[in-house]
Amino acid sequence: MASLTVPAEIPSVAEDCEQLRSAFKGWGTNEKLIISILAHRTAAQRKLIRETYAETFGEDLLKELDRELSHDFEKLVLVWTLDPSERDAHLAKEATKRWTKSNFVLVEIACTRSPKELVLAREAYHARFKKSLEEDVAHHTTGDHRKLLVPLVSSYRYGGDEVDLRLAKAESKVLHEKISDKAYSDDEVIRILATRSKAQINATLNHYKDEYGEDILKQLEDGDEFVALLRATIKGLVYPEHYFVEVLRDAINRRGTEEDHLTRVIATRAEVDLKIIADEYQKRDSIPLGRAIAKDTRGDYESMLLALLGQEED
């Protein structure tokens, strides 16, 4: 369930554009006004606003926002305002430019999006960067990391619910053997995780737990970075909400909040499942996500995060 709230009666697109334009004019920028509009429009509505803004004022709304806003607030507004597939392309590109820590972002995009969304992100990547996502990922990684990441970002999994139980049984056996032998980057482990449908992998892991009495995620808890990546792959594919709760906890509880992670999760999930993630967060940490965020952030950044979380203060 999404956390995004959209007013029952929204102004016309032209009106939204006028209001945004006025927010940039005069003495200082009216951040509150910007939040009150952009944080309460769907992807389709934001797209229309960007198009109409460009037609009406001959300027790119994103460029205006970039000029008028700053720091974490700016990043959040920009990332949020992008179309979901453009946004994923942007986040993936940032990830391929940085060090290995950002490989988690690639796993996140490859595993928590629907198969079709991942294809659309790859299409947006072509349009924006004149390259393919997989060529940049393959180029910036080596060894086991490449072996896992390239097939993950290249996957176009079957998205249906049908499950082959015999296959689940056979492949849970393979996984159990390999993981018990600590052969984490074995071809078969990667093949199963990178190509099978999410429903099929879920069935395989259920069988794994039933048959071997062990939770594969527990077995992957203490390992090197590659093992952590493998763990993120499985969580992202099968328990995306838990995965996001973990990223949020990590981002918020660190000395000095990790704003990039916080920004990314809130912006990418607000229109998808942030409400469920927030519920899970509260169950896990006994503090509402909104309060945890409010404690750790401030100003317009905080307001925008809470607005996307559907928890605006008045």
3-state SS record for 178-198: HHHCCCCCCHHHHHHHHHCCH
The distance of closest approach from Cβ of residue 137 to its own copies in the complex, given in angstroms and rounded to an integer, is: 8
Nearer to its own copies, 55 or 187 (CB): 187
The distance of closest approach from Cβ of residue 86 to its own copies in the complex, given in angstroms and rounded to an integer, is: 16
The distance of closest approach from Cβ of residue 92 to its own copies in the complex, given in angstroms and rounded to an integer, is: 13
The distance of closest approach from Cβ of residue 126 to its own copies in the complex, given in angstroms and rounded to an integer, is: 5
**Cβ-based neighbours of 45, under 8 Å, separated by 6 or more:** 6, 10, 13
Nearer to its own copies, 133 or 304 (CB): 133
Counts of helices then strands in the chain (DSSP H, E)? 20, 0
The distance of closest approach from Cβ of residue 299 to its own copies in the complex, given in angstroms and rounded to an integer, is: 40
Q: Name the residues that contact its own copies, by CB under 8 A.
A: 115, 119, 122-123, 126, 130-135, 138-139, 142, 146, 150-151, 154-160, 162, 187, 191, 194-197
Nearer to its own copies, 29 or 197 (CB): 197
User: How many Å separate Cα 85 from the centre of its chain?
Assistant: 11
- The candidate with the shortest Cα–Cα distance to 34, out of 281, 272, 303, 256, is 303
Instruction: Estimate the share of the chain in helix, then strand, then coil, as percent rounded to the nearest 5.
Output: 75, 0, 25
| Buried/exposed code over 58-75 (b: 16+ C-beta within 10 A; e: otherwise) | eeebbebbeebbeebbbb
Nearer to its own copies, 55 or 158 (CB): 158
The distance of closest approach from Cβ of residue 208 to its own copies in the complex, given in angstroms and rounded to an integer, is: 18
Angle at 19 between CA 16 and CA 23, to 5 degrees: 135
The distance of closest approach from Cβ of residue 186 to its own copies in the complex, given in angstroms and rounded to an integer, is: 12
Angle at 300 between CA 297 and CA 305, to 5 degrees: 60
Nearer to its own copies, 20 or 189 (CB): 189
Nearer to its own copies, 187 or 211 (CB): 187
Which long-range contacts does 143-149 make (Cβ < 8 Å, 24+ apart)?
A: 144/184, 144/185, 144/226, 145/100, 145/103, 145/226, 145/229, 147/185, 147/190, 148/185, 148/190, 148/193, 148/194, 148/226, 148/229, 148/230, 148/233, 149/103, 149/106, 149/107, 149/110, 149/229
The distance of closest approach from Cβ of residue 285 to its own copies in the complex, given in angstroms and rounded to an integer, is: 37
Nearer to its own copies, 155 or 257 (CB): 155
Nearer to its own copies, 147 or 242 (CB): 147
